Structure 1
Amino acid sequence: MRRHLEATIETFPIAGLFTISRGSKTEAEVITCTIREDGFSGRGECVPYKRYGESLDGVLSDIHSIAEAVDSGLTREELQTRMKPGAARNAVDCALWDLEAKRDGLRVADLIGAASQKPLVTAFTLSLGEPAVMAADARRNAQRPLLKIKLGTEDDESRLRAVREAAPNARIIVDANEGWMEENLSHHMAVAAELNVSLIEQPLPAGKDAALANIRRLVSVCADESVHATKDLESLRDRYDAVNIKLDKTGGLTEALAMKAEAQRLGFLVMLGCMVGSSLAMAPAVLLAQDADYADLDGPLLLAKDRPTGLRYEGSLVYPPDPDLWG
């Protein structure tokens, strides 16, 4: 067995501007990890996230630091204890899954017991903006069955009402990105309930979300920044009804599989989410989302240019990946 790990930074332009409560960006900066072995190659993609203390250079350095061990035959199981959860481990873990499938002539879907693959409805994200701008964006996408709107301002009510008026038939997920406060939580939740919002994602800052246990949650609340790995789940049961599983948080498909199983056992609704990346980053999550309650895997739909062998999207339907892409 001869292995070789490589990791490179790649950039994909975003169609327009992607804005959340923490800022805006015009391109998706990702790291692609490739592991070659005896004529086969597996790939994984991660998106370093500044909110979690990650940077492109730091994540790239973390991946390179494990290269010698991977080249010497490090397994996925061993990787879980050699690297901490996060973007770097995600890229390596997914590359190892892809390599194993290609080397053994199998599909990752078969390996994880998800052989019956089908297209999924994914949420489509509307960036944060002025109410009129968000309404216009919602009107252009009103035919989509599930919209996710970014909020987290001092006047979220007007934005939410504008979007609901522009897309009266769509299911709506609100993502406050930790932008609400305990003082306005009940008000925002009442407005969301009035407008038939399906889910509210991370309304309060991680570590400052105890108030969620002491109010009547009129709309189901989903943890994102508050939950990273399986060990976090038990402590969140009094505050959240759902969890957003992202491979860049869990550190790859291996931990995400365990986390999803435990979340479902504990009675959480499960969302499979993503950072803004290419189809390579979405592919493992599409397989994992087959029996999830929500899929939020629209990263490539937000790009001006995706990978050549990207995922197939038809409207808001996303199809399982072809082997040429991943898995």
Structure 2
Amino acid sequence: MELYFELKTLQLKETFSIAYGNYDKREALLVELSYLNVKGYGECVAIDYYQIDIRKFVVRLTKIKRLLENQAIIHPAEFFTFLSTMDLHPFLLSALDCAYWDLFGKLENKSFVELNTIPSPNLVESSITISVADINDQIGKIEKSSWNRFKVKCKGLHQVNIEKLLKLDRHIALDSNASFTDQDCLWLQENERTARFSYLEQPRPVGNYKILNKESPANWMADEDCQYLKSLEELLPYYKSVNIKLMKCGGLTPALEMIRKAKELGYKIMIGCMTESTVGISAGCVLAGLTDFADLDGANLISNDYATGNCVENGKIILSDKPGLGIGLKEL
């Protein structure tokens, strides 16, 4: 097996504004694993609020390159066990795990969905993100959009804005990126109309979730609070839903385990993403058949997507049915 990796810059179509800051681009790391000229791809991105230094990943890959290349082709679950011995950051672990699933499926001539018996008809629609902005600008974007589901970013809670959003006849979720106060959360979960929002994502900073009541009308959804399998039982009294992102948990292999456990515990589940190319989004799309919500708009937000594969068009998740994760690189 051979390993290749390359830094990429993802240019956003417009400034992406969330409570953590404003962004015009994201740095990405493309990982390629190949065997007998068959290539599998994975990706991770630099996210500052996760304190990701992607160049450290390049150094780490350089150090473990020979170990990876000496590894025989085995089942992806066994390969993940091998990767788990290397103490890799979950973002880098995810890129390697996804690349290997893509390679393995292509070698077997079977898609990830086939290999894992995942239902694929009638997939849930993805939301598209509406950046932090003046509420009238946000509403204008929603009304002009051909998408049906929206995740509206908030920087703090403004009750007048909430009322305006509730008047729209659209599927709307709120994502405060941890910018709500305890008082904001109490107001939301004491307001029965809050149930009209699809979900309310990561309202408080990590670990500050005990003000939340899962029995309230609010569908509280954990994002940064839910990064590992063991988080699920700890969060159960507070959150109704969890956002599973491949980079957070370490890839497709642990994501499958988290989804199984979350279902056992009665959570609603979302497969989410960050700002990613079609490499990352293709990996997320294959899990959509197991989830209640999807937020897989990452590749739709960038202007220089360098890959092909599974995709999202106006919210509809379209699986390519190609082997592995169905990923290919564009000829630029």
TM-score by length of 2: 0.89
Deviation string for 1:10-50 (max 9, x for gaps)?
11221111110000111232111001212111110112322
Q: Which residue of the other structure, out of 128, 141, 166, is the alignment partner of 1:137?
A: 141
Measure the CA separation in 2 of the matches of 1:265 and 1:119.
21
Classify the secondary structure of the residue corresponding to 2:282. helix
Q: Where does the alignment leave 5 or more consecutive residues of structure 2 unmatched?
A: 73-78, 327-332
Measure the CA separation in 2 of the matches of 1:152 and 1:259.
29
CA separation of 1:106/1:310 partners in 2, compared to 1, >3 Å: closer, same or farther?
Answer: closer
Measure the CA separation in 2 of the matches of 1:69 and 1:216.
49
- Kindly indicate whether the alpha-carbon contact (under 8 Å) linking 1:229 and 1:256 is maintained by their aligned counterparts in 2: no
CA separation of 1:85/1:260 partners in 2, compared to 1, >3 Å: closer, same or farther?
Answer: farther
Measure the CA separation in 2 of the matches of 1:69 and 1:98.
19
Amino acid at match of 2:179: G
Aligned to 1:212: 212
- Kindly indicate whether the alpha-carbon contact (under 8 Å) linking 2:281 and 2:311 is maintained by their aligned counterparts in 1: no
Measure the CA separation in 2 of the matches of 1:309 and 1:71.
25
Q: Where does the alignment leave 5 or more consecutive residues of structure 1 unmatched?
A: none
Classify the secondary structure of the residue corresponding to 1:101. helix
Measure the CA separation in 2 of the matches of 1:144 and 1:191.
27
Aligned to 1:187: 187
Question: What is the CA distance between 1:195 and its match in structure 2?
Answer: 7.6
Question: What is the CA distance between 1:145 and its match in structure 2?
Answer: 2.2
Query: May I ask how many residue pairs the two structures share in their alignment?
Result: 320
Aligned to 1:113: 117
Aligned to 2:10: 12
Aligned to 1:295: 294
Measure the CA separation in 2 of the matches of 1:277 and 1:194.
30
Question: What is the CA distance between 1:118 and its match in structure 2?
Answer: 5.2
Measure the CA separation in 1 of the matches of 2:91 and 2:23.
19
Give the fraction of aligned pairs with identical amino acids, expressed as a percent.
Answer: 26
CA separation of 1:243/1:312 partners in 2, compared to 1, >3 Å: closer, same or farther?
Answer: closer
Classify the secondary structure of the residue corresponding to 1:66. helix
Question: What is the CA distance between 1:245 and its match in structure 2?
Answer: 0.2
Classify the secondary structure of the residue corresponding to 2:193. helix
Amino acid at match of 1:26: D
- Kindly indicate whether the alpha-carbon contact (under 8 Å) linking 1:148 and 1:175 is maintained by their aligned counterparts in 2: yes
CA separation of 1:301/1:174 partners in 2, compared to 1, >3 Å: closer, same or farther?
Answer: same
Amino acid at match of 1:159: N
Aligned to 2:75: none
Measure the CA separation in 1 of the matches of 2:161 and 2:11.
26
Aligned to 1:268: 267
CA separation of 1:7/1:274 partners in 2, compared to 1, >3 Å: closer, same or farther?
Answer: same
Equivalent residues in 2 for 1:56-67, closer than 5 Å: 56-67=54-65
- Kindly indicate whether the alpha-carbon contact (under 8 Å) linking 1:31 and 1:45 is maintained by their aligned counterparts in 2: yes
Amino acid at match of 1:157: Q
Classify the secondary structure of the residue corresponding to 2:196. coil
Question: What is the CA distance between 1:148 and its match in structure 2?
Answer: 0.6
CA separation of 1:254/1:126 partners in 2, compared to 1, >3 Å: closer, same or farther?
Answer: same
Aligned to 1:150: 153
Classify the secondary structure of the residue corresponding to 1:210. coil
CA separation of 1:24/1:295 partners in 2, compared to 1, >3 Å: closer, same or farther?
Answer: same
CA separation of 1:115/1:291 partners in 2, compared to 1, >3 Å: closer, same or farther?
Answer: closer
- Kindly indicate whether the alpha-carbon contact (under 8 Å) linking 2:240 and 2:267 is maintained by their aligned counterparts in 1: yes
Measure the CA separation in 2 of the matches of 1:308 and 1:235.
38
CA separation of 1:195/1:159 partners in 2, compared to 1, >3 Å: closer, same or farther?
Answer: farther
- Kindly indicate whether the alpha-carbon contact (under 8 Å) linking 2:118 and 2:290 is maintained by their aligned counterparts in 1: no
Measure the CA separation in 2 of the matches of 1:322 and 1:170.
31
- Kindly indicate whether the alpha-carbon contact (under 8 Å) linking 2:172 and 2:198 is maintained by their aligned counterparts in 1: yes
CA separation of 1:286/1:118 partners in 2, compared to 1, >3 Å: closer, same or farther?
Answer: farther
Amino acid at match of 1:242: S
- Kindly indicate whether the alpha-carbon contact (under 8 Å) linking 1:42 and 1:95 is maintained by their aligned counterparts in 2: yes
Q: Which residue of the other structure, out of 38, 44, 47, is the alignment partner of 1:46?
A: 44
RMSD across aligned positions (CA): 2.2
TM-score by length of 1: 0.90
Measure the CA separation in 2 of the matches of 1:159 and 1:279.
33
Question: What is the CA distance between 1:318 and its match in structure 2?
Answer: 1.8
Aligned to 2:81: 77
Question: What is the CA distance between 1:121 and its match in structure 2?
Answer: 0.8
Deviation string for 1:173-201 (max 9, x for gaps)?
11111111112211244568358212110
Classify the secondary structure of the residue corresponding to 1:229. coil
Question: What is the CA distance between 1:84 and its match in structure 2?
Answer: 4.0
Measure the CA separation in 2 of the matches of 1:325 and 1:26.
31
Amino acid at match of 1:110: E
Aligned to 2:257: 258
Question: What is the CA distance between 1:234 and its match in structure 2?
Answer: 1.0
Classify the secondary structure of the residue corresponding to 1:204. coil
CA separation of 1:119/1:263 partners in 2, compared to 1, >3 Å: closer, same or farther?
Answer: closer
